[in-house]
Structure 1
Amino acid sequence: GMADRFMVGGSEAPLTPFTLAQMKALKIYSEGTDKYPCRALDLNKDANSMVLGEGAAVACLQKGITPQSLAIIEGVGYATEILEHPVSISTEAVCFQKSMSMALGDLAVSEVDAIVMHAPGTIQGDLSEYRAVEKMFGNSLPLLTSNKWQTGHTFGASGMLSLELAVLMLRHQVFIPVPYSGEIPGAKKLRRILVNAVGFGGNAVSVLLRHP
């Protein structure tokens, strides 16, 4: 590579009348007024619950391991799939199956302790990604979480914010669940966490992080 250390980040401020109108026209925006209007990763919801948010996150990437290393990128996977609709993913999220498989490489699926899901809060988006995880991990299903119930979907910043959540959990060795999932924050040792992200058009990325 051309550099041993560099910064990478993402930011977006999509809270504009135009963007909100687009999401509502697609019928994926939340109409909820309760404590959690975005029900990301709630697989039993009966209505779409996507909420927009704004945010930014930046990380410093460098070669090798230092005493300051917060996490190690052990694998990266990416994939696309041909879709019938430009803003959706297939029923079993084939793009995620491919990106997760590429990120894991030869690593046994049982070695992954948790996944930070993309989980946008839509019925199809959440279920499709979950089916992809089920297909990939079978009986070795890791702990699953998302941050969009709290941050909303921050578009260009969402992937980096998900990485930040994964690093936070690895650093403090505490799993942070979605509050309505029934999962209890536990003391299970977190060695590896997989992070999923997808953009409109079925462009998926998975990043495998390991505790240093």
Structure 2
Amino acid sequence: MPLNTNKPVSDTLEISITGIASISPLGTTLESVWEAYGTEASCMVQKRYGAEMVWVAPLTADGRAETKAIGASNGMYGNLDDSVLFALYAGRKAVSQSGWSGNNDFGVNIGSSRGATALFEKYHAEFLKNGRTPTLTSPTTTLGNISSWIAHDLQTSGPEISHSITCSTALHALLNGVAWIRSGMADQFLVGGSEAPLTAFTIAQMKALKIYADSDMGKVNIPRTADNAYPCRALDLQKKRNTMVLGEGAAVACLEKGRSDNALAVITGVGYATEPLKHNISISTDALCFQRSMAMALGTADPSEVDVIVMHAPGTIKGDLSEFTAIEKVFCNKIPVLTTNKWKIGHTFGASGLLNIELAVLMLLHQKVIEVPFLEPISKPSQINKVMVNAVGFGGNAVSVLLSRK
């Protein structure tokens, strides 16, 4: 089946990223995030969820304190789920960085794979016990809750969109923002994803799929070596078992029409594709959806121009290998440098794609490749001019974004 290359999106209007912010296991500022990427340490710890200890990647102590402070700052905010508080924190910082403060007509599209997970589980437990729910159960657990509260908090009257397209949610939000701007219906859009999935029930769901890292993938209280330091072996194509680990956080970006003077990076191509399902959770062995999305994002650009690919690479055997196979088919004999951040911060579901964008932007700004420490050293490019970012979710819905240096 031929690749879907008949939509050269990269040849149309460029979009600038003028602000990007996150809250994650890496920290709460671009400076702290980049500093954390400069170390080879994983952000994963073992915590008890239900009856067992499992690997997770939680927010930093500072990040947790910051989101609690937002919840305590306003009577209405105290009833919001962490997924909303994470997004509020990141949204405020991105808008301030971009210089949008005082602007009241930008659009908002913040997605989430799971939404208000912890709050929904809490309210459902109360319902099972008492047969009734608190008054705010419905309005604080709807998926539109995230974008609505951000629009309220930032006082914008532009369009508000929320959605869930599993693990590619944040990059689909970016697609939506690009589409609105290129259509002429908006000049600016705040896009991203937020996820707070560290609950016993959510982790149990991942374990039921048999894709979660075993508790012995990283060892406790012994010297860490290359063999036991990293519970999530993302991008290790030789691993013999699945090693996905969940993380939490949010990341958002400010998109503006054209090539702005204060751009951090420029979106020069976007691609998307969905492939027919053969199983509820799988994509094909050669990830046809990724082949199509990457080809579309490239448009008429030569594949050799791409210096780095930030892979989705969830740490599962089939997921990592199928994406790598797709890259081989698209880039043939000149495969770009490959990297991922899931070995460090875990899989943040709907937020993961924008956290990948953040890593790509930082590599473009600092002209340094962040390597996967347990893999063989790589030959790095002398300059990083173009970075491709991938994401895919259950259902084979892939998105690829091509970023260029300002």
Judge same fold: TM > 0.5, yes or no.
Answer: yes
> 3-state SS of the aligned residue for 1:22?
helix
Q: Tell me, in whole angstroms, the C-alpha distance in 1 between the residues paired with 2:379 and 2:199.
A: 35
Which one of the candidate residues 43, 47, 55 is aligned to 2:237? 43
The alignment partner of 2:275 has SS state of: coil
Residues 187 and 112 from structure 1, CA distance in 2 versus in 1: closer, same or farther, beyond 3 angstroms?
closer
Q: Note the C-alpha offset of 1:3.
A: 1.7
Aligned equivalents of 1:84, 1:168: Cα separation in 2: 37
CA contact (8 A) 1:175 1:185 kept: no
Structure 1 runs not aligned, ≥5 long = none
Does structure 2 retain, via aligned residues, the 8 Å contact 1:173–1:187? no
> Are the aligned partners of 2:368 and 2:384 in contact in 1 as well (CA < 8 Å)?
yes
Partners of 1:97 and 1:185 in 2: CA distance: 24
Q: How does 1:12-161 map to 2 (within 5 A)?
A: 12-31=195-214, 32-33=217-218, 34-161=228-355
Who is 1:189 aligned against?
383
**What's the CA shift for 1:88?**
1.3
Aligned to 2:23: none
Structure 2 residue runs without a partner (length 5+): 1-183, 219-227
Tell whether the 8 Å contact from 2:307 to 2:381 is kept in structure 1 after alignment.
Answer: no
Using the alignment, how far apart are the partners of 2:398 and 2:354 within structure 1?
Answer: 14
Question: In the alignment, which of 185, 192, 198 is matched to residue 2 of structure 1?
Answer: 185
Higher helix share: 2
The answer as to whether partners of 1:91 and 1:128 remain within 8 angstroms in 2 is yes
The amino acid that maps onto 1:128 is: S
Query: Would the aligned equivalents of 1:39 and 1:45 in 2 still touch at CA under 8 Å?
Result: yes
> Structure 2: how far apart are the matches of 1:125 and 1:186?
25
Which contiguous aligned blocks of 4+ residues in structure 1 show a shift greater than 4 angstroms?
A: 184-187
Give the alignment of 1:196-211 within 5 angstroms.
196-211=390-405
Deviations 1:3-49 (A, max 9, x none): 21121111101111111111111110001123100000001111100
SS of equivalent to 1:195: strand
Deviation at 1:61, TM superposition (A): 0.3
CA-CA distance at 1:180 after TM superposition: 1.0
**1:184 Cα offset (Å):** 4.7
C-alpha separation between the residues in 2 aligned to 1:66 and 1:129? 33
> 1:186 Cα shift?
4.3
One-letter amino acid of the structure 1 residue matched with residue 400 of structure 2: S
Count of residue pairs brought into register by the alignment: 212
> C-alpha separation between the residues in 2 aligned to 1:73 and 1:95?
20
Q: TM-score, length-normalised on structure 1?
A: 0.97
State TM-score, norm by structure 2: 0.51
Identity over the aligned pairs, expressed in percent?
67
Shift of 1:187: 6.0
SS in 2 for 1:19: helix
Secondary structure in 1 matching 2:246: coil
Whole-angstrom distance in 2 between the partners of 1:112 and 1:189: 11
Matches of 2:304 and 2:243, distance apart in 1: 31
Secondary structure, in 3 states, of the residue corresponding to 1:139? Answer: coil
C-alpha deviations, 1:63-117, integer Å up to 9, x for none?
Answer: 1122210110000000000121121110000000000000001111101101000
> Which structure's CA Rg is the greater one?
2
- What is the rounded CA distance, in whole Å, between the counterparts of 2:361 and 2:379 in structure 1? 16
Contact preservation (8 Å) 1:174, 1:188: no
